[in-house]
Amino acid sequence: MKRKISFLFVILLVSYISYAQEVEDLINLSLEELMNMEVSISNKSKTSIRETAGIVTVITNEDIQLSGARDLQELLQLYAPGYNFGVDVEGVVGLGIRGLWAHEGKFLLMVDGQELNDGMFASVPFGNHFTLANVQRVEIIRGPGSSVYGGFAGIGVINIITKEGESTQGSASYLTSFTGNQFSYNNLSFNSTVVRNDLKLNFSGVYGKGARNEREFYDIYGDWSTLKGNSYIYTKQFEIKAKYKDFSILALMDDYSYDQIDLWDAVYRGTALRESFQSHFLQSSYDFKASKKLTITPRINYKWQQPWRLNVVDQGYKNSKCYTKTLGGITATWDDSKLKGIFGVEYGFEQLKQAPFIDDTLEEVFRNGKDYLSYNNFAAYGQVQLNTKFINLNAGARFDKSSEYGSAFVPRFALTRATDSYHIKAMYSQSFRVPGGIIPNRQPIGFSISPEKGTIIEFEVGAKLPIQTYITLNLFDARFSEVIIYQNDSNTGIGSYRNYGKIGTQGIEAEVKHSSKSVYANINFAYYKREKSTTDSIYFVPGKNDYFLAFSPIRINASASYFISKNVGVGASVSYFGERYGYVNTSGTPKKFDPIALVNLNFNINRFLVDGMQLNLHLTNILNADFYFIQAYNGSHAPLPGFDRSLGFNIVYQF
């Protein structure tokens, strides 16, 4: 049966190539446009990617279409140098950046500017969570962003920018992948824009079900159970964006849940546990054009979440807490060719509250004797970029004062220079991590928690080569002090947090982009080395002083697409992971995981059968490599199998 399906796909592709007409390019951006596109993630005002004060990656709609990636996790792993994934407790897959475990409060993820990090642990779960059908592009800071965004942006910022048309139009899509035994992806998406005079409305949504894996999961004690039928993932997102003249409203709902049996340290023997992360966001803002160069924007944000929701009665554990955050702020943006600047103030009130359930005897209680924890925070920030004939000067800072942890001040300085043939950047930044959410309730008696502090130095050069190719190389040194460390308590099952010592990483990253009429290619390389410290023992590999757990010091990604015609392209991608280490049993010695390569193939067809229809056929992990998500600290959670070989397609109809 599989041979018949594969043969049908080949016949369909060959037949289509024979009559494909040149209607729309699969790739519309030239190399010059790619290198000079404007981004706003680094300083919230539009600046050329080669001049913005940050190590920035932009994954365009063309990259998404040609990559064959099925969700944000696969996209980041392929296109963002130094970005990797590991497993945490309760089956959560989280992000690591430049060798460091960033999952718990060290990076910020946004959708259209909305902060997705949960308010309990500041984490974001991945795996069929953020599908790509409605994504226009992804902007990434591969470094600190705290001077603009605050305490979740210590070593990385990701902003997903969703699609919205300029007139009455829309799209519908269906994504599926099949391993031979179960569907790993099965998602429906839609996006629609309506414009009536000065009113613009955009509606988008995703509804899907998939499965993480079908292999066996072994815990650290050697017991096992199958993940087939026990690792389903459910994703739902719905967003409304409305704009009337200069007034905007955004509403976003994100409902993500999954089944898991890899609870904490041991395989869970009962029916698979359902864990959920629910979030709702509302934002209103108004752009007041004080002049051609000055825009003043007041805004109000509201965030409601119920993260890490789990009920394990036979283990005596339950979490159903709700988190809310109300934030008001005002920014002033000045923009001309020589001087760009943004200044802002904001005030936020946060509350973590016990959910109003009758049976709350299994819930963690708050030490203050109340059914809630609450904090307020004031922040003021500013960034200025002065463009001169010889060099661009960028300076900024952010000041935060919290009712819970006191104050934090982080400066930022950068020099940038770009010409037609090269660019150069030198940057010094500080960052901090907010010890909010549940952390103050879990600090040891007699200790106080202060913000984790980071100092990051970065240097980047880029040059245009004669063959429609641009190469970029950057060096980084990131060091953190007062690191917030989790320590497990075997008696209660609920550990504690405290500031403890230092951690750091150094490394190099490189990227090569090529764009021509027939070939579009991207190659990136990342290398990190642990900055030695005697206080990061739960993160590094004993006997391998330069390594952190879970993440290989060497990562190489390559993707290329060849355009058979303007409507038809064939692509391939390879992700190489050097040797990795992780704890798999109770011996106290981490296991070495040999180097591995994930190889993917995909075919792209525009104007498939009718105008406006696009088809992507993908074959993922064609070598069936035995990949694992490894825990990035010594926390007694065994590696989680991932990335089964699968065959599938994504079909999109634009109307």
Whether 167 has a pLDDT exceeding 70, the answer reads no
Query: Which residue type sits at 242?
Result: A
Confidence of residue 374 (pLDDT cuts 50, 70, 90): very high
DSSP sequence for 392-428? EEEEEEEEEEETTTEEEEEEEEEEEEE-SSEEEEEEE
| pLDDT 10s digits, 254-268 | 999 999 999 989 999
135-139, 359-363, 442-446, 554-558: the lowest-pLDDT one: 359-363
Whether 593 has a pLDDT exceeding 90, the answer reads yes
Per-residue confidence (pLDDT) for residue 253, from 0 to 100: 97
Confidence of residue 3 (pLDDT cuts 50, 70, 90): very low
**Structure tokens, 484:** 């917030």
Per-residue confidence (pLDDT) for residue 317, from 0 to 100: 86
Compute the distance between CA of residue 142 and CA of residue 528 in angstroms, rounded to an integer: 13
Read off φ and ψ for residue 406, nearest 5 degrees.
90, -145
Per-residue confidence (pLDDT) for residue 15, from 0 to 100: 40
Per-residue confidence (pLDDT) for residue 62, from 0 to 100: 87
Per-residue confidence (pLDDT) for residue 486, from 0 to 100: 80
Asked if residue 371 lies in contact with residue 413, where contact means CB atoms within 8 angstroms, the answer is no
Whether 30 has a pLDDT exceeding 50, the answer reads yes
| pLDDT 10s digits, 512-523 | 999 988 899 999
| pLDDT 10s digits, 611-620 | 889 999 999 9
Mean pLDDT, the chain, integer: 89
Per-residue confidence (pLDDT) for residue 13, from 0 to 100: 44
Read off φ and ψ for residue 372, nearest 5 degrees.
-155, 155
What's the rounded mean pLDDT across residues 77-100?
A: 94
CATH of domain 2-631: 2.40.170.20
Per-residue confidence (pLDDT) for residue 21, from 0 to 100: 38
Q: Where are the domains of the chain?
A: 2-631
Whether 19 has a pLDDT exceeding 60, the answer reads no
Terminal Cα distance for the chain, rounded:
34
Per-residue confidence (pLDDT) for residue 258, from 0 to 100: 96
Whether 4 has a pLDDT exceeding 60, the answer reads no
Q: What is the CA radius of gyration of the chain?
A: 24
Confidence of residue 12 (pLDDT cuts 50, 70, 90): very low
Compute the distance between CA of residue 17 and CA of residue 9 in angstroms, rounded to an integer: 12
Report the phi/psi class of residue 229: left, alpha or beta, with left for phi > 0 and alpha for psi in -120 to 50: left
| pLDDT 10s digits, 441-470 | 888 777 788 888 999 999 999 999 988 999
Per-residue confidence (pLDDT) for residue 607, from 0 to 100: 85
| pLDDT 10s digits, 467-482 | 899 999 999 999 999 8
Whether 20 has a pLDDT exceeding 60, the answer reads no
9-18, 106-115, 272-281, 621-630: the lowest-pLDDT one: 9-18
Compute the distance between CA of residue 16 and CA of residue 545 in angstroms, rounded to an integer: 55
Specify the DSSP element, H or E, that contains 188.
Answer: strand 183-196
Per-residue confidence (pLDDT) for residue 357, from 0 to 100: 58
| pLDDT 10s digits, 408-420 | 999 999 999 999 8
Per-residue confidence (pLDDT) for residue 562, from 0 to 100: 93
Tokens 């037949």 -> residue: 15
What's the rounded mean pLDDT across residues 313-325?
A: 90
| pLDDT 10s digits, 220-237 | 999 999 999 999 999 999
Whether 24 has a pLDDT exceeding 50, the answer reads no
Read off φ and ψ for residue 216, nearest 5 degrees.
-90, 140
